[in-house]
Amino acid sequence: MAEKSGFIGGVAETFKTVFWALLIAGAFRTIFFQPFWIPSGSMKDTLLIGDFLFVNKMAYGYSYASCPSVRVPQLGIDVGADDLCGVFKGSNERLFGSEPERGDVVVFRHPVTGRDFIKRLIGLPGDRIQMKDSLLYINDVPVKVEDAGIFVETMEPQGPLGQQPQCANGAVGRGAVCEKPRQTETLPNGVSHDILDIGPRGADNTGVFTVPEGQFFFMGDNRDNSTDSRFAQERGGVGFVDRKDIVGRADRVIFSSAGRSMLAFWTWRSDRFFKAIE
């Protein structure tokens, strides 16, 4: 009987350990950091498909969007932040809130679909944003840009979704060199970052976007391959993003894999491990 009790007691202790470990991990993810995989090339070359990072939720305080979302399509699981914390969704205020800064790389909930997006913060409340001939204007003043060479990658499927890159040097075959001109853009507050250009696109010239109070304007660094605030929500874009929909700030790439699975160690990008996001 003592042996049986010892076995049962051991199993109970194991369950207790697992329970508390999961509880602590859940609280850590909910309160402090959220893991995020980069699924698309909209932020190249700042972020590459297959980069893995933790989103700092403490950076801007907390709203309903700080609640975790769990999506496992293979199992039919699709639980969003609004499912868990939707009761708090109406307010645009944040607990322990601080304002995002221009140039921050931010994860936010899409205002319509609730999916997580990651883009760079370009426009603050009250700003006038416009694109003219691929050049960004903020409050009617063009930002400073400098040539930064050519961004080069291989034409091949990238990441779990097998996406093909877009190239400025035409339709190249698989395994060929894919090129995009790169510039360093400096925003009015002095934040500098690289942007890529593929070629003439409709969003290279826009009207003036005046950012409403309590909202923000986001753009991808891969300007010709990004669905962002330049595109209206009713047309599948992002539009303006409310303060309450912000999840947190991306500060550092923790891990990166160029393959379709993180287990394919031969595709790991060791030079991107713990790389600061600028």
Hey, which residues are catalytic here? 42, 119
Residue 24: φ, ψ to 5°: -65, -45
Residue 248 contacts by C-beta under 8 Å, 6 or more apart in sequence? Answer: 33, 34, 55, 56, 57, 58, 59, 60, 66, 106, 107
Kind and range of the H or E element at 20?
Answer: helix 2-31
Dist. CA 268–CA 258, nearest whole Å: 6
Question: Strand, coil or helix: what is 84?
Answer: helix
Contact (CB, 8 A) for 220 and 119: yes
Instruction: Say which residue the tokens 């304002």 belong to.
Output: 99
DSSP letter at 28 equals: H
Identity of residue 24:
I
